[in-house]
Amino acid sequence: MNVLVTGGCGYIGSVLVPLLRGDDRVEQVVVLDDLSSGSPRNLVGSLGPGVTFRRGDIREYGDVESAVREVDAIVHLAAITGAASTHDRREETFATNLGGTRNVLRAAGKFGVESIVLASSCNVYGRAMSTEIDETVEPEPINPYAESKYESERLLEGHVADHDAAGTTLRLSTVYGYAPGIRFNLVVNAFVFRALTGRPLTVYGDGSNWRPFIHAYDAARAYRAALLAPEGWPELVYNVGESEENYRIEEIAQVVREEVGPVEITYLEDEHPGPSYHANFDRLTGTGFEPERTLREGVRGLAASLIGGDERNEPSPTGRADR
């Protein structure tokens, strides 16, 4: 199987590409990235036979079509992320996230791509009043990032209905943990970095907002599993995470203080609190997929990697096959 990973030089892509390269079901991995936020250094150790890099912009159909030729399956990761920041980048966010998805699906239809996995987020649920939110709950996105992701999900649904192709959307929990392409605008990673550098952890509002969390390694495993065995992922949408990994933001600050070391926690009034969602993952359980890492393990591992520990090398990214 030949696989295209858009945004392959980003956070999750930096873990997914070596996972796919090391999987005996995959012959060739094509990475499409414009390097606007990712970097070639995120693929150090992943290049060589079996991996092709194409620099291109998903907003440009010609770039996408060129990358999609001769691939059998696509993981579409490329997007503008950082939900809060997209309030000031609405037009650009929609052009990239929604327009880019439209280009990917158009090319996939033209060349008969067999399987497509779309990256989305539990952020689409907005500020949900209930807990145990499953995939039957109607999303209520409250930022351009989530809006563009939800509209992209609907594009994929239409594509699957119109073509002889498998397709599913993975609504990821909030990602954390060490990866070559790690981002520090995500709450767990930011808190660990601040704790290690002696700065207070700032909690906006009262810290009661709920979020589910997933390690970047487990997120990449989920994409690989859904892409390479689509028959085991028959639903159009899956929340991806684990029920025990739903936390309030104030609890995240406490976990970081307990696992990394003494640090001050401050609260800052926020007139416009961000999304809050406590997700249910029963549908994911039906696929047989299970995350391997807990938040506490991930916090300890990230701290170790930042001070020169060994989390960067364990487990091997070509480990468990999730078949």
What are 98-112's pLDDT values in tens digits? 999 999 999 999 999
pLDDT at site 130: 84
pLDDT range class, residue 1, cuts 50, 70, 90: very high
Helix axes 216-228 and 13-21, enclosed angle (nearest 10): 50
pLDDT at site 88: 74
Look at the chain and count its residues.
323
280 has a pLDDT exceeding 70 = yes
Percent of the chain with pLDDT over 90: 80
pLDDT at site 69: 95
293 has a pLDDT exceeding 90 = yes
274 has a pLDDT exceeding 90 = no
The sign of the dihedral angle between the CA atoms of 244, 248, 252, 255 is negative
Q: CA dihedral in degrees (311, 313, 314, 315; nearest 10)?
A: 140
Structural contact between residues 304 and 310, judged by C-beta atoms closer than 8 angstroms: yes
Residues in a beta bridge with 237 = 169
pLDDT at site 165: 92
pLDDT at site 102: 97
The sign of the dihedral angle between the CA atoms of 170, 172, 178, 184 is positive
Structural contact between residues 294 and 301, judged by C-beta atoms closer than 8 angstroms: no
**How many Å apart are CA 19 and CA 2, to the nearest integer?**
14
Question: Could you tell me the CA-to-CA distances from 92 to 8, 80, 88 in Å, in that order?
Answer: 20, 8, 9
pLDDT at site 87: 74
Let me know if residue 270 belongs to a domain. no
pLDDT at site 311: 53
**How many Å apart are CA 303 and CA 306, to the nearest integer?**
5
For residue 179, give its domain range: 2-183+212-244+275-292
Let me know if residue 24 belongs to a domain. yes
Q: Residues 65-93: what's their mean pLDDT?
A: 87
* CATH number for 103: 3.40.50.720
Let me know if residue 321 belongs to a domain. no
Q: Residues 121-131: what's their mean pLDDT?
A: 91
Q: How many CA atoms lie within 13 A of 95 on its CB side?
A: 7
- Which one, of 198, 206, 202, lies nearest residue 266 by Cα? 202
pLDDT range class, residue 37, cuts 50, 70, 90: confident
- In the block, residue with structure tokens 């509209």: 151
Let me know if residue 322 belongs to a domain. no
Phi/psi of residue 172, each to 5°?
-75, 150
pTM: 0.93
Q: Residues 28-51: what's their mean pLDDT?
A: 92
Higher-confidence position of 85 and 72: 72
Structural contact between residues 35 and 9, judged by C-beta atoms closer than 8 angstroms: yes
**How many Å apart are CA 156 and CA 120, to the nearest integer?**
11
pLDDT at site 91: 85
Q: Residues 256-273: what's their mean pLDDT?
A: 88
Q: Residues 143-158: what's their mean pLDDT?
A: 95
Angle at 247 between CA 188 and CA 84, to 5 degrees: 55
**How many Å apart are CA 15 and CA 280, to the nearest integer?**
25
197 has a pLDDT exceeding 50 = yes
98 alpha carbon, distance to own chain's centre: 16
58 has a pLDDT exceeding 90 = yes
Q: What's the whole-number average pLDDT of the chain?
A: 92
Let me know if residue 307 belongs to a domain. no
**How many Å apart are CA 58 and CA 13, to the nearest integer?**
15
Higher-confidence position of 40 and 4: 4
Please state the domain count of the chain. 1
309 has a pLDDT exceeding 80 = no
pLDDT in tens, 214-247: 999 999 999 999 999 999 999 999 999 999 999 9
Report the first-to-last Cα separation within the chain, whole angstroms.
Answer: 15
291 has a pLDDT exceeding 80 = yes
123 has a pLDDT exceeding 70 = yes
Let me know if residue 169 belongs to a domain. yes
156 has a pLDDT exceeding 50 = yes
